[in-house]
Amino acid sequence: MTLNRLEITDRTALKVCGPESEAFLQSILSNDMTALTPGQSVYSLLLTPQGKVLFDLIIWRLEDGFMIEVEKTRSTELEKKFKLYKLRADVNISLESLTVTCLWGNIPEALAQDFPFELPFDPRLKSLGLRIPSLDIFASLNFENVSEAATKEMYKSHRIALKVPEGSDEIPQGQAFPLEYGLHELAGIDFQKGCYVGQEVTSRTYRKGKIRKSLYRCSAHAAFSCQDKIMSGDRQVGEICIWQSEEGLALLRDDSLEENLTVNDIALQLQETQD
């Protein structure tokens, strides 16, 4: 199996440091910041008070704080939101440049024997592969000579196969409930931690199991766009979240799976998710 390599340039970062940086992030984000050691990462969410996703984030622990990976087009928006929540916390928040290298396929773990930490697998799902940010802590990792350059389209298809949405195009800002999009299955929520923004709604929904929509892998002989409506007769039962070539992910009512589904009058088929 080939080792695929893609450098992602549409991401950037916020650096959060200072004596109270851990406590600050712990109080607003959906995952546990306290167990991370330098070099480790975690997937986490910033939610609205109503429990809807504002940002999906990958957070790296550094020696002096945290590096928070976010969509480049929304980094200033995240900075403003953090500063709104900061109040009097002893925390420094700054925008930082960042590139991210993703590698998936046949990963030769032996190449990292001298690396001082565990290989940085994507914290959402190990089968996504390695996710290596341009931080000094990862400078000794070099897979360029044993990998082949891949395209954005290849990586998107890889995510679709594993049912992993990301970013505000695929997880609509301020509209998406994280459990409907399966973000808890991507280790994005710690249900054992204390309070954070949106925690009450999210925890109650999880405990009561009241989820009526879920993310499903699907296909069709057509090209669709994000948020195209999925119909069962005259009734809308979902929408397209991601589409690439003739496959994608759709948010669907769980009670519609046995019905004849269409998008723009074109038949939609459900597919199994890869492990």
199 part of a folded domain: no
pTM: 0.93
Predicted local distance difference test score (pLDDT) of residue 112: 67
Contact 266, 274 (CB under 8 A): no
Q: Are residues 154 and 247 in the same domain?
A: no
114 part of a folded domain: yes
Q: Are residues 29 and 155 in the same domain?
A: yes
Predicted local distance difference test score (pLDDT) of residue 213: 95
Q: Are residues 87 and 147 in the same domain?
A: yes
61 part of a folded domain: yes
Give 113-141 pLDDT, tens digit per residue: 767 778 899 999 999 999 999 998 888 88
Predicted local distance difference test score (pLDDT) of residue 142: 83
Give 233-244 pLDDT, tens digit per residue: 999 999 999 999
List b or e across 37-54, with b for residues whose CB sees 16 or more CB atoms inside 10 angstroms: eebebbbbbbbeeebbbb
Q: Are residues 7 and 117 in the same domain?
A: yes
Instruction: Look over the chain and give the mean of its residue pLDDT values, rounded to a whole number.
Output: 93
CATH of the domain at 54: 3.30.1360.120
More confident residue, 142 or 93: 93
Distance CA 124, CA 42 (A): 8
The domain boundary, picked from 136, 167, 198, lies at 167
**Section 93-105 average pLDDT:** 95
More confident residue, 75 or 145: 75
Predicted local distance difference test score (pLDDT) of residue 273: 64
Residue 106 has pLDDT above 80, yes or no: yes
Measured at the CA of 55, the angle between CA 142 and CA 35, to 5 degrees, comes to: 60
Tell me which amino acid residue 173 is. Answer: Q
22 part of a folded domain: yes
Q: Are residues 26 and 101 in the same domain?
A: yes
CATH of the domain at 268: 2.40.30
Predicted local distance difference test score (pLDDT) of residue 114: 67
Give the model's confidence band at 158: pLDDT under 50 very low, under 70 low, under 90 confident, else very high. Answer: very high
219 part of a folded domain: yes
Q: Are residues 162 and 220 in the same domain?
A: no
Q: Are residues 136 and 81 in the same domain?
A: yes
Give the model's confidence band at 209: pLDDT under 50 very low, under 70 low, under 90 confident, else very high. Answer: confident
172 part of a folded domain: no
Task: Print the domain residue range for 243.
Answer: 212-275
Contact 216, 182 (CB under 8 A): no
Q: Are residues 9 and 88 in the same domain?
A: yes
Number of domains in the chain: 2
Give 161-183 pLDDT, tens digit per residue: 999 999 999 999 999 999 999 99
DSSP state of 168: H
Q: Are residues 141 and 261 in the same domain?
A: no
Predicted local distance difference test score (pLDDT) of residue 146: 87
Residue 218 has pLDDT above 90, yes or no: yes
Predicted local distance difference test score (pLDDT) of residue 274: 62
